[in-house]
Amino acid sequence: MSKKRAAGTGSIYKLPNNTWRVLTTIQNERISHTFRTQKAAAEYSRKMADQIGLGLTFDATQKDLGTFVKEWLAIKETKLRGSTMESYSRLARLYIQPLTLIGGVLLKDINAARIQALYSTLQNKNVGKRTIEIVHTILYGCLKHARKLGLVSQNWAELVEVPRPEKQEMNVWSEDQVSSFLAAYPDNTFYRLALATGMRRGELIGLQWQDLDWRSGTLKVKRQVYEPAGGGFRFQEPKTARGRRAIRLGPGMIEALRAQFNQVIPLARAIAGDHWKEYDLIFPSTIGTPRNGYEISKEFKRLARQAGLTEIRFHGIRHTAASIMLLYGEPAVRVAAILGQSVAVLLETYAHYIPDDQERTAALMDELTTPIKVDLGGDASRTDRAQILEPAIRIERGAREHRQLWSDHPEKA
């Protein structure tokens, strides 16, 4: 092997077969790479020198992205909600870890171009934009952690363009359609509560009797139920602090829940017999366990068809409740509190349901800004007149100065 030091940093050797080898030392460990041309070897050597200067470690030169994502998810398992963890693990397994995508690329070789190419590949495979958005969230968090550990020089996910899903028009029911549905199923307290509060499906399924304060008529949302991929169910806390909330119910709803407690639940226990499993649920399955969310969604569409109504998704009940509250003039901050979301998200989602009462607002502001006429009379002294008129004189003087500035220098006005 003949030795020749090329321009650039690191050790570059020319091999007998006319290829070029780069030897780099990181944390007292030597790594080598071979290139067909001296130029490629020199570029690699300079890149490695830059990355080492930014904190690249030896571990990063040995570990691929797929392995690191798996390790990162294991760390996050205690911090993420069960459903979120399951979703992240599944999407990472499908769209990040495969060697045919980006999983086999070493951390030191990850860059914005590779990540952007991954998103393009997924789009070409007709993977949904929302799915790609979650994949990006995983990569962003993973590479942020890798940078803290000195495994990458920067978070390359910050530099890419992420395809964003288009907002879909919400399908909601009108007030009349809600009335028709409830008239068709007057004893179905589950759907009545859903339409009255806009609670999420998992929140409704997870309600327990201990969450209901009979005296105040307040229902507390403390948990959700979700179904893992392998079957069964799990309880988990709401996703955000706003999700943990208290909702005030009307007397009619309280009476419906009282019937649920005194009649429906005891009958269900009696029919199930020894098969009953007690979870203190307000709306249990026939054996006391949480109901299956997917089956509820299917049931809701079937009931809507039987009632002669337009089919909407179960989540459309939430949108329906919010839209009706806003149309009736309920303050956005109150509706947001009932739904368990921020006012900003509420306004972004449902702004077009808020009545456009600009005529009333215009009348209010017109009244507030109409000048009050002052009768100075003949008995007012010169000093009194000056004190009363001085503010108006200053305003008029300022207006004249601004008009003069505009005519002399329109670009500065």
Query: Which is higher by pLDDT, 96 or 407?
Result: 96
pLDDT of residue 11: 82
Q: If you average pLDDT over residues 67-74, what whole number do you get?
A: 92
How far is residue 29's CA from residue 26's CA, in Å, rounded to a whole number?
A: 5
Note the Cα 380 to chain centre separation in Å: 65
Question: What contacts 147, CB < 8 A, 6 or more positions away?
Answer: 153, 154, 155
Say if residue 393's pLDDT is above 70.
no
Is the pLDDT at 196 greater than 90? The verdict is: yes
Report the pLDDT value the prediction gives residue 36, as an integer from 0 to 100.
81
Listed ranges 11-20, 31-40, 152-161, 262-271; the one with the highest mean pLDDT = 262-271
What contacts 402, CB < 8 A, 6 or more positions away? 413
Sheet holding 29-35, edge to edge: 11-14, 20-26, 29-35
Q: What average pLDDT does range 387-399 have in this prediction?
A: 57
SS3 annotation, 121-169: HHHHCCCCHHHHHHHHHHHHHHHHHHHHCCCCCCCHHHHCCCCCCCCCC
Give the amino acid at 184. A
| pTM above threshold 0.85 | no
Q: Report DSSP letters for 47-84, one per residue.
A: HHHHHHHTT--TGGGT-BHHHHHHHHHHHHTTTS-HHH
Number of helices and strands in the chain (H, E) = 16, 8
